[in-house]
Protein backbone atom coordinates (compact mmCIF):
# COMPACT_ATOMS: atom_id res chain seq x y z
CA UNK A 1 0.00 0.00 0.00
CA UNK A 2 1.13 3.52 -0.77
CA UNK A 3 2.97 5.14 2.15
CA UNK A 4 1.17 8.46 1.62
CA UNK A 5 -2.21 6.70 1.76
CA UNK A 6 -1.25 4.97 5.02
CA UNK A 7 -0.15 8.31 6.44
CA UNK A 8 -3.51 9.89 5.55
CA UNK A 9 -5.44 7.02 7.13
CA UNK A 10 -3.34 7.27 10.28
CA UNK A 11 -3.86 11.04 10.45
CA UNK A 12 -7.63 10.66 10.04
CA UNK A 13 -7.68 7.93 12.68
CA UNK A 14 -5.89 10.05 15.27
CA UNK A 15 -8.07 13.06 14.48
CA UNK A 16 -11.14 10.84 14.94
CA UNK A 17 -9.84 9.62 18.30
CA UNK A 18 -9.21 13.21 19.43
CA UNK A 19 -12.69 14.30 18.33
CA UNK A 20 -14.23 11.30 20.12
CA UNK A 21 -12.45 12.20 23.36
CA UNK A 22 -13.51 15.85 23.10
CA UNK A 23 -17.13 14.94 22.33
CA UNK A 24 -17.23 12.50 25.25
CA UNK A 25 -15.90 15.15 27.61
CA UNK A 26 -18.29 17.80 26.31
CA UNK A 27 -21.21 15.37 26.56
CA UNK A 28 -20.34 14.43 30.13
CA UNK A 29 -19.87 18.02 31.26
CA UNK A 30 -22.94 19.15 29.36
CA UNK A 31 -25.10 16.49 30.99
CA UNK A 32 -23.91 17.49 34.48
CA UNK A 33 -24.35 21.20 33.79
CA UNK A 34 -27.83 20.85 32.25
CA UNK A 35 -29.09 18.60 35.05
CA UNK A 36 -27.40 20.48 37.89
CA UNK A 37 -27.35 24.20 37.23
CA UNK A 38 -31.11 24.60 37.63
CA UNK A 39 -30.90 23.39 41.25
CA UNK A 40 -28.21 25.87 42.30
CA UNK A 41 -29.31 28.63 44.65
CA UNK A 42 -27.91 30.56 47.58
CA UNK A 43 -29.95 28.44 49.98
CA UNK A 44 -28.60 25.25 48.41
CA UNK A 45 -25.04 26.42 49.09
CA UNK A 46 -25.56 27.80 52.59
CA UNK A 47 -28.16 25.59 54.29
CA UNK A 48 -27.60 22.20 55.96
CA UNK A 49 -29.02 19.14 54.19
CA UNK A 50 -32.59 18.11 54.84
CA UNK A 51 -33.92 14.63 55.41
CA UNK A 52 -33.64 13.49 51.83
CA UNK A 53 -35.24 10.15 52.74
CA UNK A 54 -38.40 12.13 53.60
CA UNK A 55 -38.09 14.18 50.43
CA UNK A 56 -36.48 17.25 52.01
CA UNK A 57 -33.72 18.64 49.79
CA UNK A 58 -31.99 21.18 52.04
CA UNK A 59 -28.47 22.32 51.16
CA UNK A 60 -24.86 21.22 51.07
CA UNK A 61 -23.15 23.80 53.34
CA UNK A 62 -21.55 21.32 55.81
CA UNK A 63 -20.40 18.99 53.02
CA UNK A 64 -18.93 21.85 51.02
CA UNK A 65 -17.10 23.19 54.08
CA UNK A 66 -15.85 19.68 54.96
CA UNK A 67 -14.43 19.27 51.45
CA UNK A 68 -12.39 22.47 51.64
CA UNK A 69 -11.31 21.85 55.24
CA UNK A 70 -10.19 18.31 54.41
CA UNK A 71 -8.30 19.68 51.42
CA UNK A 72 -6.42 22.14 53.63
CA UNK A 73 -5.57 19.51 56.24
CA UNK A 74 -4.34 17.07 53.61
CA UNK A 75 -2.15 19.61 51.83
CA UNK A 76 -0.64 20.76 55.15
CA UNK A 77 0.58 17.18 55.65
CA UNK A 78 1.34 16.33 52.01
CA UNK A 79 3.36 19.37 50.93
CA UNK A 80 6.26 19.20 53.43
CA UNK A 81 6.66 15.43 53.07
CA UNK A 82 6.22 15.50 49.29
CA UNK A 83 8.67 18.36 48.74
CA UNK A 84 11.20 16.77 51.09
CA UNK A 85 10.86 13.40 49.37
CA UNK A 86 11.17 14.97 45.92
CA UNK A 87 14.34 16.85 46.93
CA UNK A 88 15.82 13.66 48.35
CA UNK A 89 15.03 11.63 45.21
CA UNK A 90 16.37 14.34 42.90
CA UNK A 91 19.51 15.46 44.75
CA UNK A 92 20.52 13.00 47.47
CA UNK A 93 19.35 9.53 46.44
CA UNK A 94 22.17 7.51 44.89
CA UNK A 95 21.46 4.82 42.27
CA UNK A 96 21.57 1.76 44.54
CA UNK A 97 19.27 -1.04 45.68
CA UNK A 98 17.65 1.12 48.37
CA UNK A 99 16.73 3.81 45.84
CA UNK A 100 15.34 1.24 43.43
CA UNK A 101 13.28 -0.29 46.22
CA UNK A 102 12.01 3.17 47.22
CA UNK A 103 10.96 3.95 43.68
CA UNK A 104 9.24 0.57 43.45
CA UNK A 105 7.31 1.34 46.64
CA UNK A 106 6.16 4.69 45.26
CA UNK A 107 5.06 3.09 41.99
CA UNK A 108 3.08 0.46 43.88
CA UNK A 109 1.50 3.14 46.10
CA UNK A 110 0.55 5.28 43.10
CA UNK A 111 -1.13 2.31 41.41
CA UNK A 112 -3.16 1.21 44.44
CA UNK A 113 -6.93 1.71 44.14
CA UNK A 114 -8.22 4.35 46.52
CA UNK A 115 -10.56 1.80 48.10
CA UNK A 116 -7.51 -0.17 49.28
CA UNK A 117 -6.04 2.96 50.86
CA UNK A 118 -9.41 3.52 52.51
CA UNK A 119 -9.39 0.03 54.01
CA UNK A 120 -5.83 0.60 55.26
CA UNK A 121 -6.94 3.91 56.78
CA UNK A 122 -9.90 2.14 58.41
CA UNK A 123 -7.57 -0.29 60.16
CA UNK A 124 -4.90 2.24 61.15
CA UNK A 125 -6.53 5.65 61.58
CA UNK A 126 -10.01 4.56 62.66
CA UNK A 127 -9.68 1.33 64.63
CA UNK A 128 -6.06 1.15 65.80
CA UNK A 129 -5.86 4.77 66.96
CA UNK A 130 -9.37 4.68 68.41
CA UNK A 131 -10.24 7.98 66.73
CA UNK A 132 -13.25 6.63 64.88
CA UNK A 133 -14.36 8.38 61.71
CA UNK A 134 -12.56 11.72 61.66
CA UNK A 135 -11.33 14.43 59.34
CA UNK A 136 -7.79 13.75 60.57
CA UNK A 137 -8.04 10.09 59.54
CA UNK A 138 -9.36 11.09 56.13
CA UNK A 139 -6.55 13.62 55.68
CA UNK A 140 -3.90 11.04 56.54
CA UNK A 141 -5.44 8.49 54.17
CA UNK A 142 -5.52 11.04 51.35
CA UNK A 143 -1.91 11.94 52.14
CA UNK A 144 -0.94 8.33 51.42
CA UNK A 145 -3.04 8.53 48.25
CA UNK A 146 -1.37 11.71 46.93
CA UNK A 147 2.16 11.41 48.30
CA UNK A 148 3.66 9.40 45.38
CA UNK A 149 2.29 11.96 42.92
CA UNK A 150 3.67 14.88 44.91
CA UNK A 151 7.11 13.32 45.28
CA UNK A 152 7.28 12.55 41.57
CA UNK A 153 6.16 16.06 40.58
CA UNK A 154 8.79 17.71 42.82
CA UNK A 155 11.52 15.35 41.62
CA UNK A 156 10.76 16.03 37.96
CA UNK A 157 10.56 19.79 38.55
CA UNK A 158 13.96 19.84 40.25
CA UNK A 159 15.67 17.57 37.70
CA UNK A 160 14.35 19.85 34.93
CA UNK A 161 16.40 22.76 36.31
CA UNK A 162 19.43 23.33 34.05
CA UNK A 163 22.48 21.71 35.60
CA UNK A 164 24.59 24.73 34.64
CA UNK A 165 22.84 26.80 37.31
CA UNK A 166 23.63 24.24 39.99
CA UNK A 167 27.24 23.86 38.87
CA UNK A 168 27.72 27.63 38.75
CA UNK A 169 26.44 28.01 42.31
CA UNK A 170 28.62 25.18 43.62
CA UNK A 171 31.69 26.59 41.86
CA UNK A 172 31.20 29.86 43.77
CA UNK A 173 31.42 28.05 47.09
CA UNK A 174 27.69 27.87 47.83
CA UNK A 175 26.71 24.83 49.86
CA UNK A 176 24.54 22.09 48.39
CA UNK A 177 21.59 22.96 50.63
CA UNK A 178 21.82 26.67 49.77
CA UNK A 179 21.96 25.77 46.09
CA UNK A 180 18.76 23.76 46.43
CA UNK A 181 16.86 26.37 48.44
CA UNK A 182 18.15 29.54 46.75
CA UNK A 183 18.71 28.42 43.15
CA UNK A 184 16.90 25.21 42.25
CA UNK A 185 13.64 25.43 44.19
CA UNK A 186 12.73 28.95 42.92
CA UNK A 187 13.28 27.80 39.32
CA UNK A 188 11.30 24.59 39.91
CA UNK A 189 8.53 26.42 41.77
CA UNK A 190 6.08 26.73 38.80
CA UNK A 191 6.07 22.97 38.27
CA UNK A 192 5.76 22.30 41.99
CA UNK A 193 2.85 24.72 42.38
CA UNK A 194 1.06 23.25 39.37
CA UNK A 195 1.49 19.72 40.68
CA UNK A 196 0.31 20.72 44.16
CA UNK A 197 -2.88 22.33 42.84
CA UNK A 198 -3.63 19.35 40.60
CA UNK A 199 -3.14 17.07 43.59
CA UNK A 200 -5.54 19.28 45.51
CA UNK A 201 -8.11 18.78 42.76
CA UNK A 202 -7.77 15.01 43.13
CA UNK A 203 -8.36 15.34 46.87
CA UNK A 204 -11.52 17.36 46.36
CA UNK A 205 -13.06 14.72 44.12
CA UNK A 206 -12.01 11.64 46.11
CA UNK A 207 -14.73 9.53 47.72
CA UNK A 208 -13.74 5.87 48.08
CA UNK A 209 -10.94 6.38 50.61
CA UNK A 210 -13.10 8.73 52.68
CA UNK A 211 -15.98 6.29 53.05
CA UNK A 212 -13.87 4.26 55.50
CA UNK A 213 -11.98 7.07 57.24
CA UNK A 214 -13.97 10.34 57.41
CA UNK A 215 -17.38 8.71 57.55
CA UNK A 216 -20.73 9.13 55.80
CA UNK A 217 -22.30 11.72 58.07
CA UNK A 218 -21.52 15.13 59.49
CA UNK A 219 -22.68 16.40 62.92
CA UNK A 220 -24.62 19.62 63.31
CA UNK A 221 -22.00 22.34 62.94
CA UNK A 222 -22.07 25.67 64.72
CA UNK A 223 -20.33 28.08 62.36
CA UNK A 224 -20.09 30.64 65.14
CA UNK A 225 -17.95 28.30 67.26
CA UNK A 226 -14.36 28.30 65.95
CA UNK A 227 -12.77 26.47 68.88
CA UNK A 228 -11.00 23.41 67.35
CA UNK A 229 -11.57 21.40 70.54
CA UNK A 230 -15.33 21.91 70.58
CA UNK A 231 -17.52 19.02 69.42
CA UNK A 232 -19.74 21.23 67.27
CA UNK A 233 -16.90 23.38 65.91
CA UNK A 234 -16.33 23.19 62.14
CA UNK A 235 -12.55 23.32 62.77
CA UNK A 236 -12.49 20.22 64.98
CA UNK A 237 -10.35 17.71 63.03
CA UNK A 238 -11.47 14.77 65.19
CA UNK A 239 -15.10 14.71 64.10
CA UNK A 240 -16.79 12.71 61.33
CA UNK A 241 -17.23 14.67 58.14
CA UNK A 242 -18.93 13.66 54.90
CA UNK A 243 -17.43 15.52 51.93
CA UNK A 244 -19.34 16.57 48.85
CA UNK A 245 -18.32 13.54 46.78
CA UNK A 246 -19.21 11.15 49.61
CA UNK A 247 -22.55 12.92 50.05
CA UNK A 248 -23.38 12.40 46.37
CA UNK A 249 -22.69 8.68 46.72
CA UNK A 250 -24.73 8.44 49.91
CA UNK A 251 -27.76 10.22 48.49
CA UNK A 252 -27.85 8.02 45.41
CA UNK A 253 -27.39 4.81 47.37
CA UNK A 254 -29.76 5.48 50.30
CA UNK A 255 -32.44 7.86 49.08
CA UNK A 256 -36.01 6.56 48.84
CA UNK A 257 -37.07 9.54 46.73
CA UNK A 258 -35.60 9.50 43.24
CA UNK A 259 -36.65 13.11 42.65
CA UNK A 260 -34.86 14.32 45.78
CA UNK A 261 -31.78 12.26 44.93
CA UNK A 262 -31.71 13.78 41.45
CA UNK A 263 -31.89 17.33 42.84
CA UNK A 264 -29.25 16.82 45.53
CA UNK A 265 -26.82 14.77 43.46
CA UNK A 266 -27.30 16.91 40.35
CA UNK A 267 -26.61 20.18 42.13
CA UNK A 268 -23.75 18.70 44.16
CA UNK A 269 -22.14 17.17 41.07
CA UNK A 270 -22.33 20.53 39.29
CA UNK A 271 -20.59 22.29 42.18
CA UNK A 272 -17.97 19.54 42.39
CA UNK A 273 -17.18 19.71 38.67
CA UNK A 274 -16.94 23.52 38.80
CA UNK A 275 -14.49 23.41 41.72
CA UNK A 276 -12.26 20.78 40.06
CA UNK A 277 -12.24 22.75 36.79
CA UNK A 278 -11.36 25.93 38.66
CA UNK A 279 -8.50 24.11 40.38
CA UNK A 280 -7.14 22.94 37.02
CA UNK A 281 -7.45 26.34 35.35
CA UNK A 282 -5.95 28.09 38.38
CA UNK A 283 -3.02 25.67 38.37
CA UNK A 284 -2.17 26.44 34.76
CA UNK A 285 -2.55 30.20 35.13
CA UNK A 286 -0.53 30.31 38.36
CA UNK A 287 2.22 28.16 36.88
CA UNK A 288 2.50 30.40 33.83
CA UNK A 289 2.48 33.55 35.97
CA UNK A 290 5.27 32.30 38.24
CA UNK A 291 7.31 31.13 35.24
CA UNK A 292 6.99 34.53 33.56
CA UNK A 293 7.97 36.36 36.73
CA UNK A 294 11.04 34.17 37.19
CA UNK A 295 12.15 34.37 33.55
CA UNK A 296 11.65 38.15 33.38
CA UNK A 297 13.60 38.88 36.58
The span from the CA of 48 to the CA of 58, in Å, is: 6
In tens, the pLDDT along 235-270 reads 889 999 889 889 888 887 775 567 777 778 888 888
CB 257 within 8 A of CB 232: no
Q: Does residue 46 lie within any of the structural domains?
A: yes
Q: Give residue 208's domain range.
A: 40-296
Q: Does residue 1 lie within any of the structural domains?
A: no
Q: Tally the domains of the chain.
A: 1
Q: Does residue 35 lie within any of the structural domains?
A: no
Decide if pLDDT at 53 tops 60: no
Q: Does residue 31 lie within any of the structural domains?
A: no
- Show Cβ contacts of residue 126 under 8 Å, excluding neighbours closer than 6 positions: 132, 133, 134, 137, 212, 213
Q: Does residue 7 lie within any of the structural domains?
A: no
Residue range 183-198: mean pLDDT, rounded: 84
Predicted confidence band at 1 (pLDDT cuts at 50, 70, 90)? Answer: low
Predicted confidence band at 185 (pLDDT cuts at 50, 70, 90)? Answer: confident
Length of the chain in residues, anyone?
297
Predicted confidence band at 52 (pLDDT cuts at 50, 70, 90)? Answer: low
The span from the CA of 110 to the CA of 230, in Å, is: 36
Q: Does residue 86 lie within any of the structural domains?
A: yes
CATH number at residue 116: 1.10.3720.10
CB 264 within 8 A of CB 251: yes
Q: Does residue 287 lie within any of the structural domains?
A: yes
Q: Does residue 29 lie within any of the structural domains?
A: no
Residue range 80-107: mean pLDDT, rounded: 89
Amino acid sequence: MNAKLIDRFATLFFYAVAILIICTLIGLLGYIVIHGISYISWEFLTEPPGSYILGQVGGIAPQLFNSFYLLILTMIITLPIGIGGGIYMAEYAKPNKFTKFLRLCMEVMSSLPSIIIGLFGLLLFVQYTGWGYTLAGGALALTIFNLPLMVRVVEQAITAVPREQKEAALSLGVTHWQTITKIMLPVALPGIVTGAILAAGRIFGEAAALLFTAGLSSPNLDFTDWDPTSVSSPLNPFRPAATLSVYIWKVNSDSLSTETAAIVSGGSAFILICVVLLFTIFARLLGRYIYRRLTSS
